[in-house]
Homo-oligomer: A and B are copies of this chain.
């Protein structure tokens, strides 16, 4: 296989909704273009994209729109893991057909306490049904949300059985010991991404590939800078600066907070919209957040305005 695998920073791009809560594909495409200009890849349809509040048809439409709008599919790593095997296969197949560089795949997440054998069969069946050698799967381990962890023995079995397809993992466990254990394995060209830039420096020092983090929606250039300069003398200071910014945001519900920041700096108020069961920030929460960010001299230059 000569497929290129991802490295660096990828952003689980927040999804814009019109006031009737329909996805706004063109605004998403404009946001993706801006993120690419900030050296971020595009992990669309992630947790922070409210991907699981979108139907499969809505995701297929958005993916088509992104490619139609000229977004380079090689920079796209859409989330395609659904509860239903047939949904995951449908979405993954389209991503491959469109030339996406990879997919980020949740395990089926409704049934809990399922066996490694059952999860293995799920991934194996998906790979078999998609049936395309171009498929590059990045596993998505996010037990605080999915409540369905991917264990090391399961991951190892998948890597050994499908070395050309299982390309890496996003570890959003928040548990550095787990990320470290994955990094220690050093499977051939298996890419380990931390799920928060708070772990970026230790991830790079241990041979990791980069990070896929919510905060990339608002702070991509600085996160990429640390990725590109992790061996620089000031790397630790850069890490601290990233953490300080993240701390301002993550005291609030993350997705509404990120959308409020994008809305403020773009002037496009519909960015504030979220689908239930999420709730937008209150005015007070929003004002407090923007004031805090302004106090740090934070800005998002070049962010696209509304159409």
Contacts and interface: CB of A to CB of B under 8 A. Distances in A.
Interface string A102-117: 0000011111101101
A122 B85 contact: no
B112 A147 contact: yes
A55 B87 contact: yes
A278 interface: yes
A302 interface: no
Contacts of A83: 52-53, 83
**In the assembly, how many copies of this chain are there?**
2
Contacts of A146: 110
B277 A122 contact: yes
Given A56-B55, A110-B145, A147-B147, A85 B275 contact: yes
A279 interface: yes
Contact of A53 (B90, B110, B277): B110
Interface string A86-124: 110010000000000000000111111011011101100
A143 B187 CA distance: 37
A21 interface: yes
A301 interface: no
B112 A145 contact: yes
Contacts of A275: 84-85
Contacts of A297: none
Contacts of A125: 21, 276
B278 A118 contact: yes
A174 to B, nearest CB: 13
Contact of A144 (B55, B108, B112): B112
A172 to B, nearest CB: 13
Interface in A271-301: 275-279
Contacts of A115: 277, 279
A95 to B, nearest CB: 17
Contacts of A147: 112, 147
A289 B266 CA distance: 62
A58 interface: yes
Interface in A67-83: 83
A54 interface: yes
A277 B107 contact: yes
Given A55-B87, A87-B55, A147-B147, A276 B110 contact: no
A25 to B, nearest CB: 15
Contacts of A278: 111, 114, 118
Interface of A: 21, 47, 52-56, 58, 83-87, 90, 107-112, 114-115, 117-119, 121-122, 125, 144-148, 275-279
Given A55-B84, A84-B275, 10 more contacts: A53-B108, A56-B56, A58-B86, A114-B278, A115-B277, A118-B276, A118-B278, A118-B279, A121-B276, A122-B277
